Chain A
Amino acid sequence: MDFLNNIQVWQAFWFVVIGAAIFLFLWLDGFDLGIGMSLPFLKTKEHQLSALNVIWPVWDGNELYGLIGGGAIFATFPVVFASLLSGLYPWVVLLLIGIMLRPIAFEAWSHETGNKAVWTWAFALSSFLIPFVAGVALGTTIAGMPINAQMVWDHGHGFWEALSPLSVLCGLAVVGLTLLQGSAYLVKKTSGDLQAQARKDLTPRTIFAAVTLVLVLVVALLSPGLLDGKPLAVVGIIVGLVFILGGLAGVWLHRDEKSPEGAAYWFSSAVIAGTMVLVCGVQFPNLIRSTIDPSFSLTIFKDGVSNPINSLMLIGIIGTVALAITAVYTILVYRLFKGKVDHKSHLHY
């Protein structure tokens, strides 16, 4: 077990864990964010209620993976946590508005006996802000921030420098992925008119996701120096693209009524998995690229970026055991709520 005493092993381990947490967040919270954005466009109150009943028992457990991703960065790479959040300050405020507004709108919607439209739109807005800003942040770590030799946002560089075409495109791509995931999950979990509408939505949403993902890739490949010093970039791009293209094709071919109801959802999940493989491949070992000088980039192996080995090990062991147990009971709870859902589900005593 000698390799466990090597800090680089733990730094790489945490890179993978953070990537996995972001994947779980996009995969699981993805469908409820997508359904949230669709909410104002569903035709009847019954449809809205059915859609909410689909995500009701699980959405806050899903959002937790985003929190775990963020918490993992704080616990293992505090310099990255601090630089990213303070550098993107105004954008993170928008993200937090989304995170706070969502459960409030959810509760208010369920108790409101009058006009629910305000809460419907508040829920949709917050469901948009979360994936969009998360995508912008992800894109910014790839495109780069003005990080100086002291590992902080360099004075004299304005906050707007975080907004490159690549980061905005990443925001749109993540929104596209969650929209697709939302429709695919509705097809799996509902029936009747609502399911039919969700099936129809699959077509434009597949196109939107495909276009934004391709644009992200093209802009990234055209950016000078973006792939320098990235040993896994080529592998990541190839493996990622196999999943992304296969997944998109799968959704496209299974959007009609004759296909199995769960098929689109699993193919759409493959697109998300492929996206995260691609992102991790393109990033490794970078966490935030520096636009001032590539040698200032915050990589997982750089001195002073990660916590010392005992902290990485401790939270590695506690976190792994805890999440293994969490996985068991989360699956049990999903089984408890499995099956079709409509507006009469979840009688609430």
Chain B
Amino acid sequence: MIGAELAIGAGAALVCGLDRIAALQIMISRPIVAAPLVGWLLGDVAVGLEIGLMVELLWQARLPVGAAIPPDDTQVSIAGTVLAVSLGKLLGQSGLEYQLLCLLIALPFGKFGQFFDRFARQYNGRKIAQSDRWLENGQFYAMERAHRMGLCCFALAAVGTYLVIICGGLVMIPLLAPLLLPSLEVSAEWLRIALPLVGISVVLGTINVSRALTLFGASFGMAFLLMWLV
């Protein structure tokens, strides 16, 4: 059963991973979409929604511009959801504290996404000389095939990252769960808002808007007072 669920996650990782850079870019790769999508496929959309909520803003400020490669928040959110739903069933664990444990373990593995992504881009770069030879020989269809092969590289990079996070999670979660779950149980709700707040602070720290702090402070104060007093 868990094998089938991991495979469903891998399928989603592939599709969403392609959307991240190589194809479409309609943003199904964003955690707020990818995690609930996987949660829905695995029969627990609420878990995906929680994980998407916590991850979405974390690397929002890292723009996928030029050669910049942000950590792979897509695979973190997908693998985090798969671990929370599937491994949770196996371990008899559920609830916000367990979702947080899965996420906190998945987060550092997101860095592997950068390595895989860089590898895919370097592999594509190595095909340039071959592509130039095809051009000289008038083999234009071969050049087009080479481009489509590039898509496969990005797909493999996405699935590779997903598998690394899943393997890391399968090893570490059963080991760390008895140690961390008791304290996570009492602090889960604080952590649930800490992650989006960190994301918001990083966006504020890096967004190029004059008077960003004034705007943020005024809007926070106004919204908070309205909720408090009304």
Partners in one complex: no
List residues of chain B with CB under 8 Å of any chain A CB. none
Chain A residues within 8 Å of B, Cβ to Cβ: none
